[in-house]
Amino acid sequence: MTELQQAPITLALSKGRIFEETLPLLQDAGIEVSEDPETSRKLILSTNQPDIRIIIVRASDVPTYVEYGAADLGIAGKDVLVEHAGGAHPGALYQPIDLQIARCRLCVATREGFDYEAAVQQGARLRIATKYVRAARDHFAAKGVYVDLIKLYGSMELAPLIGLADAIVDLVSTGNTLRANGLVAVEDIMPISSRLIVNRASLKLRRKKIQPMLDVFQRASQETIA
């Protein structure tokens, strides 16, 4: 057996909502994770199955680990996958299953009282602050709206309040964060959920081990929809 065939199957997850919402799917498949990443400092977690391990990485790094084959599988939000598109090895990522977890919406939001429709109709050049530069650029290009995109890494809600931007493009789930900051969602860009991603070479070389995991996630996602 080659070294690769002996290595455990590696699943890349981010801690927080994706880990928490993936745990029940793993449990349904009889996979128990050894430790809780919220309390443990370990970044490699073993499971009750010697040939399956989990690595904990930043949400936006999940596609990179899978693309390079450092992880065989990963779970990432569609927002992250859209921004990652066209990475170093396009085509290395296979995206077979929408797990329907960690759902939210990617939206345009402005300060309450800002007339977004009027600004768009007047052809005003809008300043948009966002972490989701690619999704935002595509959205406004499709609408034919000129925008100046300002890249931020977090706390986007602050930008319209402090005069950095006219609007933000951000994820919204309950809407509490927008409300707490006097902002309103004025346009939906796309619904977001988390997807299973698989390294294509791993799938080919290690199909025997990976296919049962795909089957498990496929079943679990169908149960989520039902």
Interface ranges with ligand PRT (CB under 6 A): 14, 16-18, 58-60, 77, 79-80, 102, 104, 170-177, 192, 194
Rounded to the nearest whole angstrom, what is the least distance from the CB of residue 108 to ligand PRT in the complex? 13
Report the residue number, 69 or 175, with the smaller CB distance to ligand PRT: 175
Neighbours of 37 (CB within 10 A): 19
State the minimum distance, in angstroms, from the CB of residue 178 to ligand PRT.
6
Dihedral of the CA atoms 106, 75, 20, 56 (nearest 10)? -120
Cβ proximity to ligand PRT, 119 vs 138, nearer residue: 138
To the nearest whole angstrom, how small is the minimum distance from the Cβ of residue 208 to ligand PRT? 31
Residues across the chain: 226
- Nearest-angstrom CA–CA distance, 195 and 108: 23
Nearest residue to ligand PRT, scored by beta-carbon proximity: 77
Could you please report the per-residue DSSP string of 7-41? SPEEEEE-TTHHHHHHHHHHHHTT--BSS-TTT--
Nearer to ligand PRT, 104 or 120 (CB): 104
Q: How far apart are CA 107 and CA 126, in angstroms?
A: 15
Q: Which is nearer to ligand PRT, 122 or 176 (CB)?
A: 176
CB-based contact 74:19 (threshold 8 Å): no
In the complex, the smallest distance separating the C-beta of residue 61 from ligand PRT, rounded to whole angstroms, is 9
How near is the Cβ of 96 to ligand PRT at its closest, in Å?
A: 18
Q: Which is nearer to ligand PRT, 52 or 59 (CB)?
A: 59
Place of tokens 């169908």: 222
CB of 60 to ligand PRT, least distance (A): 6
- Other C-beta atoms closer than 10 Å to the C-beta of 198 total 22
**How distant, in Å, are the alpha carbons of 59, 96, 125 from that of 128?**
23, 32, 10
CB of 122 to ligand PRT, least distance (A): 29
Q: Which residue number, 67 or 170, has a Cβ lying nearer to ligand PRT?
A: 170
CA 198 to chain centre: 14
Task: Give, for 48, the enclosing helix (H) or strand (E).
Answer: none
Would you say 179 or 204 has its CB closer to ligand PRT?
A: 179
